[in-house]
Amino acid sequence: MESKKLASLFQEDLCIFSLRSRKKASVMQEMVRHLKASGKITDEHFILEMLKNRESLGSTGLGLGAAFPHGRSIAIPELTVLFARSPSGVDFEALDSKPTKIFFLILAPSEKGAETYLDLLSRLTALVQQPETLEKLYEIKDFESLQAVLGGDGK
């Protein structure tokens, strides 16, 4: 997936630049509520339960301060990505046991788009493994900065 296509999957109204929540369950709830408020999902409880079930299989907090809660369902009409940032970090039960500062919540329909969904997950995982990019993600405070980092134009 090229950088411009990656950046195009993000929307300004699907960003939380300063999460208020401090615990794993409340972070997921805050992100899902944001999706509901933006009209991207209709059943907040169903999506939250789906994410909790996914987390029960193993934390999506992969380490390096990044987490990728994700899931697929027939209840999700289109690929939806939410970016969230916690300036101080949250205990998200990450694999490296360190606080998680950035979150990419990815929801996709179960019937279509599997390739884009997996490509997106792979591309984002690769991005956070680049130390310079990861540092930029930690500092993002607005949509333009997020687009610059994801779009690869070096800002």
Q: Active site residue: 34, 70, 72, 101, which one?
A: 70
Task: Determine whether 31 is exposed, middle or buried from the number of CB atoms within 10 Å of its CB (0-12, 13-18, 19+).
Answer: buried
| Residue 34 annotated to the active site | no
Task: Determine whether 109 is exposed, middle or buried from the number of CB atoms within 10 Å of its CB (0-12, 13-18, 19+).
Answer: middle
**Triad 79, 85, 89: Cα angle to 5°:** 130
Half-sphere exposure of 134 (CA within 13 A, CB side): 13
DSSP 8-state code for residue 16: E
- Give the integer Cα–Cα distance in Å for 136 and 89: 15
* Alpha helices, H only, the chain: 3-8, 24-37, 44-57, 114-128, 131-139, 143-151
> Which of the residues are catalytic?
70
